[in-house]
Every structure is written in C-alpha cells, then in structure tokens.
Amino acid sequence: MLDVQSLAFGFPGRTIGRDVSFSLGAGEVLCVLGPNGGGKTTLFRTILGLLTRHGGSITLEGSALASLSRAEIARRVGYVPQGHSAYFAYTVREFVLMGRTAHLGVFASPAKKDFAVADQALESLGIAHLADKPVTEISGGERQLALVARALAQEPKLLVLDEPTANLDFGNQVRVLQRIGALAGSGIAILFSSHDPDHAFLCARRALLLAEGRVLEIGAPREVIRADTLERMYGVSVKVIDLGGGAHTCLPTVGR
Amino acid sequence: MTRISYLAAGGMLLCLVAVAFAVGRYPVSLSELLSVLTGQPVAGSVETVVLQVRGPRILAALLVGAALAAAGTAYQGMFRNPLVSPDILGVSTGAALGAVLGIFLSQGILFIQVFAFIGGLAAVGLVYWIGSRLRGHDPLLALVLTGVVIGTLLGSVIALLKYLADPYNQLPAITYWLLGSLASISPKEILYSIPLLLAGLAPMLLLRWRMNLLALPDDEARALGVDVRRLRTLVVVCATLMTASAVAISGIIGWVGLLIPHAARLLVGPDFGRLLPLAMLLGAAFLLAVDTLCRTIATIEVPPGVLTALIGTPFFLWLFALARRRW
C-alpha cells in the first residue's frame, strides 16, 4: 500500500528529517509518536505530496508518488488535517461532498452517487444528524469527525490523520480511536500521529517513534514504547505498566 | 430558501427595470413602455427616451452591477475572507490609474477604456508577482497586503496626475470618472464589453464546484485533488477581467463587490454554484436602484460611487463587528 524508503523531508531549502523508512499494508494502523517539532506533520505532508521530498522514495500502491497527479493521489490517500481552520459556513454535507472532488470531472458538480457516498461517510461516523448544520456551528469534536468523513468520501485506500485527537475531550478522543479501529477493520491502511503513547497501545499495530526527524524505533507498541525511549523523546520519566491481558499504559512520574 | 431567494431577486430586478424606465425628467408610463418594447408606434419622444437614453443606461447598470458582484464573490471565496472586494489586489485602482492617464494624455474614450483595462491587469499582475516572491509569509496574507500597498501607491500616482492635470478640462473629467458614472454610456461601449464580461464569467460558472475548494486552506484543497495554484490563477484572471471591463464602462463604483456577495451568502450559504447567480442578480438590482436614485433624487446627478459608499460604509463596519462570529 504505502512504502517509504530512506526518505529525507523538510521545507524548501531546509531538510528537517532523513532516513525514514517504513511500509504500511491494507488494514494496518501505524501510530507516529514524537515531541512537538519532531517532524510528524512535515513527514505527513511529504507523504501526501504537499511538500517535495528531499531524498529517498515514496511508493503508493506500486507507483512512485512523484509520478501521480494531485487527483490521483487524492483518490488513494485521504487527509485529516489538524482541524482548527476557519471555514465559510458550508453545511456539513457540502463540506463532506468536497471529498468527492477528485472523483469528479473538472467542470462537474457532485451527482446523486456522490451525495450517497457523502451521506454514507457521515452515517459511518455517527454524525448523520449534523448533515444540514453549518460547519462553523458544530463543536470541535464534531468538526474533527466531519473532517474524517470528508476524507472517507475520497474513498481512500490510505488515511492520514494528523493528531486526530488533539483538542478533543476524553470521550471524543476515545470515539475517534474507536473509528480508527473500525476503519482499519474495513481494510483501509491508517497512519496517524498522537501526543499520547497510550493511543498507540489502544489501536495501533505498530508505533513509529520520530524525534529530531529520525526514526528512533519502529515496531509493535509494547516493544518500542518503553521508559527509556519515552524519556529520550520527551525528556520526562515515565513508567510503562503492563495491565495484563495485552493492555499497557504509560504513567508519567510527577515529582513529589 | 434558495428558490425563494432567486424568485424574490428576479422579481425585484424586473420591477426595478420597469421603474427605471418610468421615472426621470421625462416620465414614461407602463403602457407607453410596453408599446415601445413591442414595437408599436407611440407619441412624442417616448421612443427616444426609452431606447436611446434609458435603455443603454439600464443595461449598463445591470451589467456593471452583475460583473462587480461576480468578481467580488470570487475574490471573497478565494481569499477566504468576506471582507475583501475587487479593490483588493489593486484591480480597481490600477484600472482607475489607466483611465486617469488616458484623460491626462487627452485620449479619446476608446483609449481611456483600453488604458483602464491594461491598468487593472497590470496592477493585479504586479501584486501577484511581488506577493508570490515574498517567501516566509502566509502566501495569502502576503498577496492581500501587497494589494493594499500597491493600491495605495497607485492612488498617490493618481493624486499626482490630478495635481498636474489642467484644472478646467481634465480635472473635472478625472474626478467624474473616479466617482463613477453611468450617465453617458453609448450602446457601442456596452457592446464592446459584453464579450469580455462573458469571457470572465464562463470559466467561473463552469468551475463553480471547484471554486468552493479554494475557500479551504491550500493544503486541504490540494489533498482533495485540486491544483490550487493553477485554479487560483485562472480565477484571479477571470475576476480581474470582469472588474476591469466593468470599470472601463462606468468608472470606479466601489462597494458593490463587497456588499452584494455578502448579502447573497447570508441568503443561500457559501456554495458557489448557488451563490454566484444570486450575487449577480442582486448586484444588477442594487446598482440599477442606486443609479435610478442618483438621477432622480436631485436636480443634478449624484455620482453613484458616493451613494454606494454612503450605504457601504456602515454595512462594512457592521460586518466587521460580526465577522468573527459568523461568516
């Protein structure tokens, strides 16, 4: 599905990360963890082709990313950005319909089939009741789900979510993680980033630890999320506790 | 809501056209108007008033109003900001400078129009070129601020030309033009500008769905499969073409491109496919109403730019106070 080899990435004229390699298969969930400014968003934007790679290769379903047009990428990869932008007061349905653009001709408007796909995306995320509300008048959690629905309307094979749980309350965080699990179950490959290592334990098959633009470790969450790796990344001491039955959690030590 | 808005706007437009034909120094009754329009003989100079004097002027008001509103709708969507208008990017000021230069050089009306057109396109080209070269800023912000700065610069060049102009012949003409006027429109001028207006409008109508995505942050629109830079360039060129041809007909009439798209958005929401036709209907109706008032409220003609500013300024401040809450 997605294959990244010795990737170097960054902004024009400034490389901020290098030697990143990983691959992702259908239905697999990979969680990228790392400190602020560690390059998570930049890495994602490079994988989406929004930034030009500085070296290495990115392959999507066997084709080099650089050889694909914007629309071809959009039909394969859905992107859920950190949703804090101001939008015009489009209704949630109109907003989600924008996900259909890559499937439409240049001069075309969404047709019946596109409305059906959009409504189904809303349905699958449990926000069908919001369809006619303006995106400016729903809560942050609902907006996050609307962004996921818009990405699903692209009918992607790979979903890239940039800190989908940021700014959400506890309940909405759990709900988003449940959706991620369910979507992976339907065969979509998922790449997401988070500030909370527990999220990797909860729903990712593998975790990628990214610090200063390099891969610290990559592997099963319980193997790579350890007290020493977390301390190296975040500079704080953390206990990783085995709760039994395959469940783990991270507990930071707050000095006393 | 959408259908009601369209019907109401269309009905209002028709009534306004009838009123605009009827009122003025030489009143025309509805039956006389119908007779002229159906080609039946009428007494006196009614036919001249309807076909030669008021007809072209009404047509010009409709075209200019619709064009400015369409351009404003495009700019507002594109810049994700309901407070921008064709004046942003320096289009209007550039066109004004071109026209003022034409008057200053004692050129005929055709050249003044060509100059206005070139001035508008050159201003937007310059703004775009500089704005895209300012790295390290939000590109949109860079573009808008460059537009404001260049607009101010061009404005001071206009002031210089006014200072240098012959105060008896040229200065009144320049002032008259800068305030905008629909008084002395010839059918020929209208005929010339229609193809340009259509050339600007057609791509916008065809791309109406995609135009919505320009209202998203660039990254999001690109991730949804849109070549943002190419689409935005195309839309800027189209909107500029429409603004410059409107300015070439009527001189500068401010505020239409800001007020009307906003009013239309309040009625039918931001979807471009619904918004654009309604904004054009409302823009045409608004400018026709303004122009009809301008030639009837006083014994002398009031420049329409003055009236739109009187209506526009409080509206703008009201919008500004509201802006953060709801677009």
* pLDDT tens per residue across span A147-187: 999 999 999 999 999 999 987 889 888 988 998 999 999 99
CB contact under 8 A, A74 and B225: yes
* Mean pLDDT over the full length of chain A: 93
The residues near B7 (Cβ < 8 Å, ≥ 6 apart) are none
Domains in chain A, start-ordered, CATH in brackets?
A: 1-61+157-256 (3.40.50.300), 84-155 (no CATH)
Residue B179, pLDDT score: 82
Give the pLDDT of residue A84.
Answer: 63
Contacts with B224 from chain A: Cβ below 8 Å: 74, 79, 98-99, 101-102, 150, 154
Which amino acid makes up residue B248?
Answer: A
Higher pLDDT, B130 or A112: A112
Q: Cβ separation of A70 and B222 shorter than 8 Å?
A: yes
Write down the pLDDT at residue B61. 96
Q: Does B323 touch chain A (CB under 8 A)?
A: no
- Do residues B301 and B295 lie in contact, with contact meaning Cβ atoms separated by under 8 Å? yes
- Which residues of B fall within a CB distance of 8 Å from A73? 223, 225
pTM: 0.89
Topology of domain B56-321 in CATH is ABC transporter involved in vitamin B12 uptake, BtuC (1.10.3470)
Using a CB-CB cut-off of 8 Å, the residues of chain A touching B275 are none
Residue B3 CB coordination number (10 Å): 8
B151 token code pair: 């607009």
Q: Which residues of A touch B (CB under 8 A)?
A: 45, 48-50, 70-71, 73-75, 77-79, 81, 85-91, 94, 98-99, 101-102, 104, 106-110, 134, 136-137, 150, 154
Tell me the pLDDT of chain B (327 aa) as tens digits: 788 999 999 999 999 999 999 998 888 888 888 888 888 888 778 888 888 889 999 999 999 999 999 999 998 888 777 667 777 778 888 988 998 998 899 887 778 778 888 898 889 889 888 887 887 777 667 877 888 899 999 999 999 999 999 888 889 888 877 888 888 788 888 888 888 899 999 999 999 999 999 999 889 999 999 999 899 889 988 988 888 888 878 888 888 998 899 889 989 999 999 999 999 999 999 999 999 999 998 888 888 988 998 988 888 788 777 755 544
> Can you tell me the distance from the alpha carbon of B157 to that of B180, in angstroms, rounded to the nearest whole number?
19
Residues A221, A240: contact at Cβ < 8 Å?
A: no
Chain-centroid distance of CA B41 in Å reads 36
- Spatial neighbors of A147 by CB under 8 A, at least 6 apart, are A80, A81, A83
- Is the Cβ pair B225, A102 closer than 8 Å? yes
- Please report the pLDDT score of residue B83 as a whole number: 66
Domain boundaries, chain B: 56-321
Structure token digits, residue A104: 């439409």
CB–CB contact B222 A109 (8 Å): no
Output the pLDDT for position B327.
44
Instruction: State residue B95's pLDDT score.
Output: 87
